Structure 1
Amino acid sequence: MTYKELQLALAVFGLEQRASLSQIKSRHRELVKRHHPDLGAPDDSEEMRKVNAAYRVLLEYVSDYRFSFAEEEFYEQNPDERLRRQFFEGPFWGNDKENG
């Protein structure tokens, strides 16, 4: 797979540069429902081929992805937790761990 193929797959799915696996799967279901002839769509097998090819590219990419469990990546992926740590765990907010 090339980067260009990955970008084309994202374009077919209408996804941004960051997407979760559940977003990819959900979007695939939506597109299949929209373009599948058995579900009332016009018989456009070319569009279904594009959707399924894009799905294979995206799944291949995420299946080879190495997840980071580093603390900084955790807070990047969970901004609410980053804010909680930044603002609510310090002594300024009355949550001083040293004084219990």
Structure 2
Amino acid sequence: EIDKARRLLGLPREVTLSEIKDAYRRKAKEYHPDKQRPGKRKELSQKMTQVNKVYKILMDYVEKYRFCFSEEEVKRNDPDRDIRRFSKDWLGGR
């Protein structure tokens, strides 16, 4: 169910919370029935209902996810770690 939800929002396997919210906003703009032609209102309303459902599934999962704040886990998931290491090596340890 989680995998299907992320695919329906067009998300890759690894994302941030901000990326989930951005994907939801994009889909909401695309499918919101008030923003489209009247002839497509019913179809778009159904799609918007589906977008809301999968967003709720993903947000429920994220809200229940247990984070580990151990020093080694934080270091392992530091997005700037590789940049610092590369620049240190490339600049000769400066």
What is the CA-CA distance between 1:39 and the residue it aligns to?
1.4
Determine the structure 2 residue equivalent to 1:51: 51
Q: 1:23 aligns with which of 19, 23, 32?
A: 19
Q: Which residue of 2 aligns with 1:74?
A: 74
Tell me the amino acid that sits aligned with residue 78 of structure 1: D
For CA contacts below 8 A with separation 6 or more, give which structure has more relative contact order. Answer: 2
Which residue of structure 2 aligns with residue 13 of structure 1? 9
What is the CA distance between 1:86 and its match in structure 2?
Answer: 7.8
- Runs of 5+ consecutive residues of structure 2 not aligned to the other structure: none
Question: What stretches of structure 1 of length at least 5 have no aligned partner?
Answer: 95-100
- The SS at the match of 1:14 is coil
Give the aligned length.
Answer: 88
- Equivalent residue number for residue 97 of structure 1: none
Question: Which letter maps to 2:29?
Answer: K
Q: Structure 2 vs 1, CA of residues 82 and 70 (structure 1 numbering), >3 Å: closer, same or farther?
A: farther
Equivalent residue, structure 1, for 2:31: 35
Runs of 4+ in 1 over 4 A off after TM superposition: none
1:15-70 residue CA offsets vs partner (Å, 9 max, x unmatched): 11111111111111110000001112631222111101100000000000111223
Q: Percent identity?
A: 36
